[in-house]
Every structure is written in C-alpha cells, then in structure tokens.
A and B are shown apart, each in its own frame.
Chain A
C-alpha cells in the first residue's frame, strides 16, 4: 500500500520566494496533519484537517503560512514570502480519524532550506 506521499523531498530557495509543499494522504484516511520539525523546537503541529475542513490552525506561525485541502487526496502548505527561519523539515501525516484513537502515518517529509 502506498503511504503518505510528500513532494518535493528537498527544496532550496531564496528568501522572499513562495514555497508550496504538497501531500497526498493514504486513501481512505479522513484526517490530515502538517508538522514542522527543527532541532530547537522538535515536532510542532501546524494545522490539521478533518474531512478536508481545517479544524485547528493555531500552530501556524503567522500569516505567511497557509494550508488548503481541496479534496480528500491532496493538501498543500504554502509559505509566502519565505524567510530563513522557516528552514525545517515539514511532515504531512494522515490517520483514519482525528481523535487520537487512530495512529498517524507520516510521509518522509520535505527538507526546506531558505537562503
């Protein structure tokens, strides 16, 4: 079975540019999560969706970050404009339910470097 698929795997861009990260959850999963991982702060939840609807975006750092889930099989995380402090590994995860009773399945992440 295909797991959670993220693209690109690596992204290097200059500050000020727009960055779009993509995620395809596991088919049949109705919850999707975006995380950011850094050495300093560990794993941070940015936003999560249930049935394509954003439920909690309190972890989104600021207005430069936005996330969409236009359908059950695709989500994007956009940063505009990007800044060097946004450099991190961004993970997407999906689960059958968003209540913690079902484990999350993670993609391999996008390693983002903002110069």
Chain B
C-alpha cells in the first residue's frame, strides 16, 4: 500500500535554511506535492514535481527528488517567521488521489 512518512517537527533559526524531508513507498508515483498549512487555514499547494525530474526551484523553495531512495525534500532558503506552518508531502500515481503524510511542523525562532 501507499505510505508517506515525514518527521513531525523541525525548528530553525530565522535566516537559516530549512530542509523538510519525506519518504514514500510507491515506486510508481508520478507526482509529488508540497502543501503548506497555516494556523486556521486549509492546505495550500506550494509546489510539485513530476517524477522524471530531479530538482525544481521556485524562488526560495527548492525541491529535490531521489527516485531510487523514494526520498523527497523541500528546502526553504532564508527562512522567515512567516514560513512557520505545517508542511505536507503528498504523492500520487496518477491513477489515484494523492496520499498525504502526517505533516511537519516548522517552527522558526529569532
């Protein structure tokens, strides 16, 4: 079955880089997503990567995909207090709806 694993918490200092990691089990995954959830709000799509890509960069965000190890990461450069949120990794095979991880709470402190 499909499974997506993430660590529950990450604490970083403002200005540092944050790296949030995710592992998945389904080798036929075609799309991998990162969502951000701020307090009191729904999940907002941050970025996504297709499985034939290794890397995608979008301003301060860098997504790295290691298909061999089924490992996905989200790097946030120059982390700000406004980046504090829960970050969800999700994967899909294209035939089913996405499977979400439990989410990583990112805490940014001065």
Interface residues of A (CB under 8 A from B): 4, 33, 42-43, 45, 48, 56, 91, 93, 98-101, 103-109
Name 17 interchain pairs, CB-CB below 8 A, sorted by A.
Answer: A4-B42, A33-B97, A42-B100, A42-B101, A43-B103, A91-B42, A91-B43, A98-B97, A99-B96, A100-B31, A100-B92, A100-B97, A101-B30, A103-B45, A104-B45, A104-B97, A106-B35
A39 to B95, CA, bound (A): 28
Chain B 6-48: CB-based contact to A (< 8 A → 1; otherwise 0): 0000000000000000000000001101010000111111001
Which 10 pairs of residues, A with B, have the shortest CB-CB distance? A100-B92, A106-B42, A42-B102, A106-B43, A103-B45, A43-B100, A108-B42, A101-B94, A100-B98, A108-B41
Is the CB–CB distance between A45 and B42 below 8 Å?
no
Instruction: Please classify how large the interface on chain B is, using the bins under 10, 10 to 19, 20 to 34, 35 or more.
Output: 20 to 34
A45 to B31, CA, bound (A): 18
CB distance from A55 to the nearest CB of B (A): 9
Other A-B pairs beyond A4-B42, A99-B92, A103-B45, 13, CB < 8 Å: A33-B97, A42-B103, A45-B97, A48-B97, A93-B43, A99-B97, A100-B98, A101-B30, A103-B33, A104-B97, A107-B42, A108-B41, A109-B41
CB distance from A109 to the nearest CB of B (A): 5
CB distance from A49 to the nearest CB of B (A): 11
A60 to B97, CA, bound (A): 16
CB distance from A76 to the nearest CB of B (A): 18
Kindly list chain B residues whose C-beta atoms are within 8 Å of the C-beta of A109.
41-42
Kindly list chain A residues whose C-beta atoms are within 8 Å of the C-beta of B96.
99-100
Kindly list chain B residues whose C-beta atoms are within 8 Å of the C-beta of A42.
100-103
For residues 77 through 110 of chain B, which have their beta carbon under 8 Å from a beta carbon of chain A? 88, 92-98, 100-103
CB distance from B2 to the nearest CB of A (A): 11
CB distance from A59 to the nearest CB of B (A): 10
Is the CB–CB distance between B103 and A100 below 8 Å?
no
CB distance from B24 to the nearest CB of A (A): 13
Is the CB–CB distance between B95 and A100 below 8 Å?
yes
